[in-house]
Amino acid sequence: MALNVIMMGPPGAGKGTQAGRFAKERALLKISTGDILREAIKEKNQVALEAKARMDRGELVDDDTMIAIVAERLTRPDAARGFVLDGFPRTVAQARALDEIMERRGSGPLVIVDVVVPEQELIRRLAGRRICGVCGTNADVAAASCAKCGGTLVQRSDDGQKIVLERLRVYQNATKPVLDYYRERPTFRVVNGAQPPDRVARDLDTLIDDATTARL
């Protein structure tokens, strides 16, 4: 049966880090809406260029655009075994649209994990984050260049202090209600994301396996 995971949590919670690892280990498709948008911006895709202004202000991209992107990805053959969503859904409208897509697909449970980290730690992580200016990979804080391609490290365009505070505000207003939308489901789980990454990974694996079994 397909395993479908949603990695929820505020900016800097470690959704991307854990989604990438989990998807690789379980051979699932990782769908990161932030990465998809950043790739499309690099390719000068018109829709994404319009989205960039919103992203750089810390605002959300409109629901119709995001739902269309995810709906298209989920029709691809490599999504058949299951997927890990990172950064979607971010509004209740997106969550409702995803439920409709899942109903049409009729595949596997939807496991929702909320990665919880205190706000001061989120601000600290995002202020210190550097990414590769060439391939976009998250870099080790101490690294001099990208471990993957040797590219120069830069700050992500939306990681400046003012924009981070706006992203956290938008998360509280628009995305927190999505947790309430899911909270009563038997496959909803919460993980302490303020631990070292390998501890978060261990807890996540246990929680996701437990949620999957509990549902069967």
List residues with catalytic annotation: 15, 90, 129, 156, 167
Of 45, 47, 54, 99, which lies in the binding site for ligand AP5, with binding defined by CB under 6 A? 54
Instruction: Calculate helix-pair angle for 33-42, 63-74, nearest 10 degrees.
Output: 100
85 CB-near residues (< 8 Å, 6+ apart): 4, 5, 6, 7, 19, 31, 33, 70, 98
Query: Which spans in 58-196 are helix H?
Result: 63-74, 92-105, 119-128, 161-170, 176-182
Task: Work out which of 4, 5, 8, 16 binds ligand AP5, going by CB under 6 A.
Answer: 16
Q: Of the two residues 98 and 111, which places its CB atom closer to ligand AP5 in the complex?
A: 98
Q: Which residues touch 32 (CB under 8 Å, ≥6 apart)?
A: 16, 19, 20, 86, 87
Nearest residue (CB) to ligand AP5, 68 versus 214: 68
Instruction: Please count the other Cβ atoms lying within 10 Å of the Cβ belonging to residue 47.
Output: 14
Q: How far is the CB of 1 from ligand AP5 (least distance, A)?
A: 26
Q: Does 30 bind ligand AP5 (CB under 6 A)?
A: no
Report if residue 136 touches ligand AP5, rule: CB under 6 A.
Answer: no
What's the min distance (Å) between Cβ of 87 and ligand AP5?
3
* Least distance between ligand AP5 and beta carbon 135 (Å): 14
Token pair for residue 205? 């694996």
Q: How far is Cα 74 from Cα 88, in angstroms, rounded to an integer?
A: 12
Contacting positions for ligand AP5 (CB under 6 A): 9, 11-17, 33-34, 37, 54-55, 58-61, 66, 87-88, 90, 94, 125, 129, 138, 158, 167, 193, 196-197, 200
